[in-house]
Structure 1
Amino acid sequence: MVVAGQTVSAQLTGPAVSTPLTSLKTVRIPEPDNINDFIRNKAEAIALGKTLFWDVQVGSDGVQSCASCHFHAGADNRSENQIHPGADNNFNTGGRPNYQLAIGDYPFHKLADPNNRASTVMADSNDVTGSQGVHLTKFNDIIPGSPQDNVTVQPDPVFNVQNVNVRQVTGRNAPSVINAVFNDRNFWDGRAQSIFNGVNPFGSRDPNAFVLKSTRKQQPPQEVKISLNNSSLASQAVGPPLSSVEESGTNRILPDVGQKFNPKLKSNKLSREIGKKLKSLRPLGQQLIHPEDSVLGKLSRWPNQGIKDKSYEAMVQDAFKPEWWDSQYIVKIGDDGKRRYIRQPQGPRATDEFSMMDYNFSLFMGLAIQMYESTLVSDEAPIDKFLEGNSNALTAQQKLGLEIFQNKGKCINCHGGAEFTNASVRNVNKEKIERMTMGNDKVAVYDNGFYNIGVRPTQEDIGVGDVDPFGKPLSLTKLTQETVALGKILPPIIKASPGENISDAPLSPYERAAVDGAFKTPGLRNIDLTAPYFHNGGALTLRQVVDFYNRGGDFHEENIDNLDADIENLNLTEQEKDALVAFMRTLTDERVRLGRAPFDHPQLFIPNGHQGNQNSVINDGTGKARDELVEIPAVGRNGGEPLPNFLGN
């Protein structure tokens, strides 16, 4: 049986052990079953995806790209103006925006004794180390031929210094996009669905999502609903460009999670605007591409900026089948949201007129970026070599850490398999929903791979316990319970969590769901490079992470009703902690550290705070603070100098 595109039926089986660790080379890269219905040339799609991912022209300000928050081991190492004030909008860390973070700010929850969660709390902050995005602006229109959109600066009541707007910061820490292809769902709260609808992150949850398909050139295109499985990366990729915090002015945005859709807001409006804008610009026209780039080198104009001899329009045509972009009709959208299909007029199009390629740009962007990110697989770490049979790949200390990881530390219970996460496609496809005894010793059901571990009090951010834009639970568990209660499906059989002495039984719509405050388990590969840690970015070092788990979390008692039962005192010795940290460092692929193929990339200029400090900034004349830009140099297939880790410099 299917709920929101997810098959939730289960086989009755006996208790199983945690998914064993293996080399990542043993895992097939997930791919949609029907991908060939859309893509005509995978190599061209990967090139388009890499271009779109790194191109700063995608953002409303001509500065912000997808890569702006995912340039360092797939994550973010910036440390100035990286604080979100949390639910209370009060900046506890640094006092104001544009603060330069320091080592002493971490961990956000400081205890007199790091081994004892009941010891005196020396400091506590509900702030989040996020990623800075765009200034708060209102989108008016694109400017043909310009990487910047026509926007109006809006007074920002939160992200300002002396009433001068600084860049907004996301409310969660940016996870790595490397190996994200193995996640069944993406984003910390799992809202990027494994089913891609071609329009937005919400898959089959959105009943109104459709794209255009041309069957006969002489006739208007058809409005069709599509569904691509194993595509949470595509669902994720079309989210940030829609966000007025991350990349866009506010008029280009879809309603955020928790709001209802306004029927007058066309669900892929942003993608149409981006598509129209990019068609008039040289791909990567503001950035250098290394001549030995593993994907884009043959297209490089080095030492000039951008891609040669190819427009975005040509790149889409080379990558995708013509029925998704080739039509003699354009779409004209009235103020009431209604669509009319008319023959392509001569000359430039009006603001409310879009070609079929413009209209379907969310489809192209999502699938192309997914194709590119699917190549970002780090399967050459020391742990892979060890699991392939090279016993010398790990030191004696690291082998001790591996033993602790799999046993006393209980890490493998959530970070299992070659992917080092239970939220993987392989693991979740075995069972979407599990039944387990929670921290309060009471049985509950929950989304497999999503756990409340006591990082912060549950109600500060309820994660997968929240709702989608249609008022439905983000949690597949709660959504299935609602669907069963309405009599729309038979209750699926839900297995007990591995090792639990609980009977498998049909899911009851009335049994307790422990999903509030639960977040997707991140993969641990390259974790040595991706500080700060947790969904709130509240830990700086791997040792702080190990201390957190060793003491049974920070808000163990407060979160007990939803807490994962494995979050308890571990009683690790100092030697065992050191060994566990040493083991986690074996998960780093040196190609990632050095930016070698497939992790090489174009040049990027990233905003790293603003000229001034948290007390004073320089107004650029429009009400926005002047950026401090940092160059991330272009590197080719052989990589370059490693970037410093977060607060590493």
Structure 2
Amino acid sequence: MKYSFQFIIAILFYVATGVSAQVNVAPEPIVTPEDARKHGLEDLRKAKLEVPQADLSRFLRPGENARNALLQLGKALFWAEEVGSGGNAGRPGQACASCHFSAGADSRVQNQLNPNITRVVNDAQGPIIGLHKAEGDPDNTFQVRKPNQKVRFSDFPFVREINQIVDLDVMSSQGVLRSEFIRTVSGNPNDRCRPVDDPVFKTIHGAKVRRAEPRHTPKVINAALESFFSFWDGRANPFFNGINPFGVQDPDAQILVAKNGTIVKERIDIPFSSLASQAVGPPLSDFEMSCGVPEADNMRTWPEVGKKLLRKRNGAPIVPLAGQLIAMDDSVLGNLSNYPAPGLNTTYSKLIKKAFRPQYWRGGNARVVFTDTEVEITLPARPDVSLDVRIVAATPEELIDEDFVIEPATSNTPPLTQNSRGQRFTLSEANFSLFFGLALQAYQQTLISDNTWFDQWMRNATFNEGFGKEEVKGLDVFVNKGRCINCHGGPELTNASVRKAQAGDNGSPNNLIEPMRMGDGHFAIYDNGFYNIGVTPTFFDIGRGGRGPTGVPLSSSRQRLFQEKEIMNIPFQILGSARISSITEDEKESVCKDNNNDGFCGLDEPLLDTFQRVAVDGAMKTPGLRIADLTGPYFHDGSAATLRQVVEFYDNGGNFCEPNIDNLAPDIRPIGLTDDEKQNLVKFLIALNDDRVRFEKAPFDHPSLTIANNGRVNGTVIKIPAVGQSGRQPLGLEPLGTFLGINQQEVGNSPVNSICTSRLDAITE
């Protein structure tokens, strides 16, 4: 086989720098908590106090009552089935919690597969553009199981032959049936929708079933600490713009504020708020929670959701969680519970008014009419429609009752494109995305599993029921031979954390774009905390390499070089771009000519030719590992069923090291763990459990919930009981367990002791 001169030079660099690896320096073993602290690990209860949070004083009323009302609003909205579109024809409504009901994740096994609609044409265009411009090439055929079938342990892992590219499914979460959105009805939990054909999600007999999302559902527990950017591809921006997930990447997004007797547009960018950005995405997704056909420009909008949940009908608004029970001792909602009757004894509107300053919900004599309205489009990403409003005077009827707004005429004709156009909304309805995002963020910030068996050991240096000598040996493998800590660093056990981004008071990150030698021996820049680890071929899902709402790259690294090389004008602040280290951390290689000697490659200091490359295609956000025992299946495609299968994946050096070599993270190389080391590593990961999560004790208690057990219309359901702050034990319920109830040490059909080899490995041996 022949190799180019440039490739041979790259190999020489690779070997000379020892990236391939076999440097025989005995690492210091991890024996005590102090040993672990030397590597940046810590008791999370201590560490979380140092993580900055958003200042919401501009938006919230002063005092603890407002913050308590925000928390109550957030928990109610997260668990409320009426938030989603799908409650028609006896089907359970779709709540945010419908995909996050078990330890903050989804443990269902039926109708949970997506055939991989994120695939693009494998047509990389150079070291900077890469797959940014690649056209979509969705796979619509199922491999593991057909729609509405159950997966079995024997189906996992999905990859059986390393480096062999075949079609692969994604294990995800089922959402809504494909339907055209007509309108919401005030005070009615069920949206008006019209079923349409679904060419992909239907059984072998042709019956339509619920759609499944294109990526595995990440857990919400600890997301407040683990995520500077949220979602697998990081499209949920750390700055919340009040409208959609894209933050500063959507420069046209504006909320509305009452001023001087009218309503005006206002730009906001709330730092440390990727969870708020994330929260406003799923409720409008035609896969997850909403009726709509985006390719026909037919979508539900946030003002429509606000109308349904806030506006009165026949003098009464919707009852929050009207079909769900809330325990009298619920840690957040107990004092609002109607138990033994369902629902809360308050309204969403009252909670908003208790929490938020009046200028965001009291419109006075003005009403909002949308000519276009901002919407979030599911993958594959398309440009959003910019917000454009007219402010009009209230009608006489509206002046009598602020909650009164004229309903559109009922019609069986096809709905208008973007159904909010032409309708009249109150200010609170028009700003509902702002309230929703900040409220859900406040709730999720309480969901921190900071009392794991590992945390307890870090606290007092004594063994406990879940952390003993074998777990310490596993921790040593995690830190040293296994190299796990290189991506799963810090107390949060992920490099994608708020702490790792090192954001200042203004929220701008200081450690986001990192220069590093990648798996192929070449240098590149990439987004810290996002790695291509070879789970699937890069072009199956380009992840962080994808596009934002205006076609601009999601990745800060690619944005930097697009701007610098004049490939594209970036019309917003590129997060992290001014704080790229001028010298690589490990090899002390110059990244740019640091003219002002400040240690960074500023915006006016171009990167050297060696670093004119971006390695973000196929990169996904590194998940935190706490409570991993309870949140299988694993990886962004849900393709591994047990933690042992995950360990086997890393020990093999990934699934697709050769096809992904241009973007592969440098630590994805065969490890050579012994069987004892693998078992101990799994035991350490299990020790990241928190009994409060396992038994759903406060703050992990919750209202009741009915979710789809299969994808059929009027199919079977799972009824999840309401749990109070004392958890599952007083109700006689078993603790939450593993996915499929499988022992985490089970290997199954993993390609054990298989080595993922690439061209580079073959030459450097």
Paired residue for 1:271?
302
- Aligned with residue 471 of structure 1, among 551, 554, 560: 551
Partners of 1:299 and 1:497 lie apart in 2 by 55
- Aligned with residue 235 of structure 2, among 191, 194, 205: 191
Aligned to 2:678, what secondary structure does the other structure show?
helix
Are 1:28 and 2:22 counterparts? Answer: no
Are 1:91 and 2:121 counterparts? Answer: no
Partners of 1:125 and 1:332 lie apart in 2 by 46
- Aligned with residue 164 of structure 1, among 195, 199, 207: 207
- Aligned with residue 426 of structure 1, among 499, 503, 518: 499
Paired residue for 2:702?
601
Partners of 2:701 and 2:579 lie apart in 1 by 45
| AA partner of residue 503 (structure 1) | S
Closer, same or farther in 2 for the Cα pair 1:324/1:350, shift >3 Å?
Answer: same
Aligned to 1:582, what secondary structure does the other structure show?
helix
Paired residue for 1:7?
none
Are 1:405 and 2:478 counterparts? Answer: yes
User: How many Å apart are 1:204 and its aligned residue?
Assistant: 1.4
Paired residue for 2:184?
142
Paired residue for 2:370?
333
Paired residue for 1:304?
341
Aligned to 2:332, what secondary structure does the other structure show?
coil
Q: State which drifts further: 318-327 or 369-378.
A: 318-327
Closer, same or farther in 2 for the Cα pair 1:311/1:438, shift >3 Å?
Answer: same
Are 1:75 and 2:105 counterparts? Answer: yes
Partners of 2:588 and 2:482 lie apart in 1 by 21
User: How many Å apart are 1:31 and its aligned residue?
Assistant: 5.1
Q: Is the 8 A contact 1:137 1:249 kept in 2?
A: yes
Q: Please show how residues 66-465 of structure 1 align to structure 2 within 5 Å.
A: 66-86=96-116, 87-94=138-145, 96-111=146-161, 117=162, 126-161=168-203, 162-182=205-225, 183-216=227-260, 219-250=261-292, 270-279=301-310, 280-308=317-345, 310-328=346-364, 329-334=366-371, 338-343=389-394, 345-346=396-397, 347-351=404-408, 352-393=423-464, 394-429=467-502, 430-465=510-545
Partners of 2:584 and 2:643 lie apart in 1 by 27
Partners of 1:385 and 1:644 lie apart in 2 by 21
Partners of 1:319 and 1:509 lie apart in 2 by 51
Partners of 1:509 and 1:52 lie apart in 2 by 49
User: How many Å apart are 1:523 and its aligned residue?
Assistant: 0.4
Paired residue for 1:47?
72
Partners of 1:353 and 1:44 lie apart in 2 by 27
Partners of 2:103 and 2:687 lie apart in 1 by 15
Paired residue for 2:6?
none
Q: Is the 8 A contact 1:29 1:374 kept in 2?
A: no
Paired residue for 2:740?
647
Partners of 1:344 and 1:541 lie apart in 2 by 60
User: How many Å apart are 1:500 and its aligned residue?
Assistant: 3.7
Closer, same or farther in 2 for the Cα pair 1:180/1:164, shift >3 Å?
Answer: same
| AA partner of residue 241 (structure 2) | N
Q: Is the 8 A contact 1:77 1:644 kept in 2?
A: no
Aligned to 1:109, what secondary structure does the other structure show?
coil
Q: Is the 8 A contact 2:591 2:608 kept in 1?
A: no
User: How many Å apart are 1:397 and its aligned residue?
Assistant: 0.5
Closer, same or farther in 2 for the Cα pair 1:580/1:124, shift >3 Å?
Answer: farther
Partners of 1:19 and 1:326 lie apart in 2 by 51
Paired residue for 1:575?
676
How big is each residue's C-alpha offset from its partner over 1:81-114, in whole Å with a ceiling of 9 and x where there is no partner?
A: 00001131110012x2001110100000124xxx
Q: Is the 8 A contact 2:326 2:334 kept in 1?
A: yes
User: How many Å apart are 1:344 and its aligned residue?
Assistant: 5.0
Instruction: Pick the structure with greater CA Rg.
Output: 2
Alpha-carbon RMSD: 2.2
Aligned to 2:580, what secondary structure does the other structure show?
strand
Q: Is the 8 A contact 1:482 1:509 kept in 2?
A: no
| AA partner of residue 577 (structure 1) | K
Partners of 2:589 and 2:52 lie apart in 1 by 34
Closer, same or farther in 2 for the Cα pair 1:359/1:31, shift >3 Å?
Answer: farther
Aligned to 2:708, what secondary structure does the other structure show?
strand
| AA partner of residue 451 (structure 2) | E
How big is each residue's C-alpha offset from its partner over 1:448-494, in whole Å with a ceiling of 9 and x where there is no partner?
A: 00000000000010000011120000111111222333498997352
User: How many Å apart are 1:627 and its aligned residue?
Assistant: 2.1
- Aligned with residue 563 of structure 1, among 647, 660, 664: 664
- Aligned with residue 633 of structure 1, among 700, 714, 721: 721
Q: Identity percentage over the alignment?
A: 43
Are 1:584 and 2:685 counterparts? Answer: yes
Partners of 2:218 and 2:667 lie apart in 1 by 23
Output the TM-score relative to the length of structure 2: 0.75
User: How many Å apart are 1:392 and its aligned residue?
Assistant: 1.3
Paired residue for 2:13?
none
Q: State which drifts further: 32-41 or 597-606.
A: 32-41
Q: Is the 8 A contact 1:108 1:125 kept in 2?
A: no
Partners of 2:288 and 2:405 lie apart in 1 by 29
Partners of 1:385 and 1:125 lie apart in 2 by 44
Closer, same or farther in 2 for the Cα pair 1:333/1:569, shift >3 Å?
Answer: closer
Closer, same or farther in 2 for the Cα pair 1:427/1:19, shift >3 Å?
Answer: farther
Aligned to 1:492, what secondary structure does the other structure show?
helix
Partners of 2:241 and 2:307 lie apart in 1 by 21
User: How many Å apart are 1:32 and its aligned residue?
Assistant: 4.5
User: How many Å apart are 1:349 and its aligned residue?
Assistant: 2.2
User: How many Å apart are 1:503 and its aligned residue?
Assistant: 2.8
Q: Is the 8 A contact 2:54 2:273 kept in 1?
A: no
User: How many Å apart are 1:311 and its aligned residue?
Assistant: 1.0
| AA partner of residue 403 (structure 1) | D
Aligned to 2:180, what secondary structure does the other structure show?
strand
Aligned to 1:110, what secondary structure does the other structure show?
coil
Q: State which drifts further: 476-485 or 425-434.
A: 476-485
Closer, same or farther in 2 for the Cα pair 1:498/1:413, shift >3 Å?
Answer: farther
Paired residue for 1:5?
none
Closer, same or farther in 2 for the Cα pair 1:627/1:502, shift >3 Å?
Answer: farther
Q: State which drifts further: 563-572 or 320-329.
A: 320-329
User: How many Å apart are 1:345 and its aligned residue?
Assistant: 4.1
Paired residue for 1:549?
650
Closer, same or farther in 2 for the Cα pair 1:31/1:51, shift >3 Å?
Answer: farther
Closer, same or farther in 2 for the Cα pair 1:30/1:225, shift >3 Å?
Answer: farther
| AA partner of residue 88 (structure 1) | D
Output the TM-score relative to the length of structure 1: 0.88
Paired residue for 1:617?
none
Partners of 2:489 and 2:585 lie apart in 1 by 12
| AA partner of residue 286 (structure 1) | G
Closer, same or farther in 2 for the Cα pair 1:335/1:466, shift >3 Å?
Answer: closer
Closer, same or farther in 2 for the Cα pair 1:230/1:643, shift >3 Å?
Answer: same
Q: Is the 8 A contact 1:106 1:538 kept in 2?
A: yes
- Paired residues, what number? 597
Partners of 1:164 and 1:195 lie apart in 2 by 42
